[in-house]
Amino acid sequence: MTRIKKIIPNVFTLLNLFCGCISIIFLQSKNYEGSAFATFFSIIFDLLDGFVSRLIKNENQFGKELDSLADMVSFGIVPSIIVFLLLKTMKKKIPFIEWFSFFISIFSACRLAKFNMNPYNNYRGLTTPINTLFFSSLSIVTNSSTVPLFIKNFIMSPIIIFFLILFSCYFLVSKIPMISFNFQGLSWKKNKIRYFFLLISTFLLLTLHVVALPCIIIFYITISTYFHRLKNS
């Protein structure tokens, strides 16, 4: 029974990897919705992996390394392929710009290596799952029939995507602490930043619908950076 308990977190990690591989297969046929669906399950299995490990007190070096290898596929390679395809299919292209998309994979690998060295810094910088969710949501927005054309044209500018790559790489290895969603009770005073974020996010979801998700992630990074600078000053 003890042996089975030790295997369970690794099973979730491997399911995360499996979904990451499926996401890549969907991207080969430019099925962005299928890829996003697979990425969503990768994130779920990644969360379950860590949760179960802590629950049964089975955090070990093998599990940590396996988790990083799985994350590198699901949350390192997948966003790079998404951005590569978006840049490749643009009407107005800058020569060779699509190859810059693989900087996301490089900086994701650096982040995962840093986390393995010091897992207590997990909330410093942008996590690879949230980064992947951002680019995955962008791909859905640009291919949705319900999104206004001017929004699609704005996102599908090579300059905009290029700057998003740069910001992504910066925040992946940044030391800026991101907002943690570990609520300290239910009081407003101790959780006002979290409540404020949830309130704005709900408003964005109700008004912007599918466009809301990338906006929420940008807002998450912005508010985290603002409160970090406020605290330092």
CATH number of the domain residue 92 falls in: 1.20.120.1760
For the cut 90, the answer to whether the pLDDT of residue 215 exceeds it is yes
Residues 132, 28 share a domain: yes
Select the more confidently predicted residue: 212 or 232: 212
Q: What is the DSSP-derived secondary structure letter of residue 210? A: G
Contact 208, 215 (CB under 8 A): yes
91 vs 141 pLDDT, higher one: 141
Residue 120 carries which DSSP code? G
* Structure confidence at residue 2 (pLDDT): 62
- Same domain? For 189 and 126 the reply is no
> Domain range spanning residue 111?
2-175
Q: What's the pLDDT at 34?
A: 95
131 and 200 in a single domain? The answer is: no
DSSP letter (8 states) at residue 186: S
Are both 91 and 104 inside the same structural domain? yes
CB 85 within 8 A of CB 53: no
Q: Which pLDDT does position 211 carry in this prediction? A: 92
Q: Are residues 46 and 69 in the same domain?
A: yes
Section 142-166 average pLDDT: 91
Q: Provide the pLDDT for residue 84.
A: 96
Whether residues 137 and 47 share a domain: the answer is yes
Per-residue confidence (pLDDT) for residue 124, from 0 to 100: 85
Do residues 136 and 167 both lie within one domain? yes
Q: Taking residues 153-172, report their average pLDDT.
A: 94
Residue 155 sits in the same domain as residue 223: no
Same domain, 185 and 160: no
Mean pLDDT, to the nearest integer, of 210-217?
A: 93
The 10s digit of each residue's pLDDT in 96-130 is: 899 999 999 999 999 999 888 876 666 789 999 99
pLDDT reading at 184 higher than 70: no
Q: Which token pair is 73? A: 């596929």
> Do 107 and 204 reside in the same domain of the chain?
no
- Quick one: average pLDDT of 146-151? 89
Q: What is the pLDDT of residues 30-41, one digit of tens each?
A: 999 999 999 999
Concatenated DSSP letters for 44-109?
HHHHHHHHHHHHTT---HHHHHHHHHHHHIIIIIHHHHHHHHHHHT-SS--TTGGGGGGHHHHHHH
- pTM of this prediction exceeds 0.85: yes
Domain end (from 134, 156, 175)? 175
- 8 and 117 in a single domain? The answer is yes
Structural domain count, the chain: 2
The full length of the chain comes to 233
pLDDT of residue 121: 61
Q: For all residues of the chain together, what is the average pLDDT?
A: 89
